[in-house]
Amino acid sequence: LRKHAYPIPAVNQLIASLSGGKVFAKLDLAQAYQQLTVDDATADAQTIITHRGAFRVKRLQFGISAAPGIFQNVIDKTVAGIQGVLPYFDDILIAASDEKELANRLETVLHRFAKAGLRLKSDK
Domains of the chain: 11-116 (3.30.70.270)
Q: What is the rounded distance in angstroms from the CA atom of residue 11 to the CA atom of residue 118?
A: 23
81: left (phi over 0), alpha (psi -120 to 50) or beta: left
- Residue 47, number of CB atoms within 10 A of its CB: 10
Do 105 and 84 meet the contact criterion of CB atoms below 8 Å apart?
A: yes
Q: What is the pLDDT of residues 80-102, one digit of tens each?
A: 999 999 998 889 999 999 999 99
Do 71 and 87 meet the contact criterion of CB atoms below 8 Å apart?
A: no
The one-letter amino acid at 94: I
Q: What is the pLDDT of residues 1-56, one digit of tens each?
A: 556 678 788 888 888 778 789 999 999 998 888 888 888 988 888 888 999 999 99
Say what the pTM is: 0.79
More confident residue, 19 or 104: 104
Q: Which of 89, 85, 90 is nearest to 119 (CA)?
A: 90
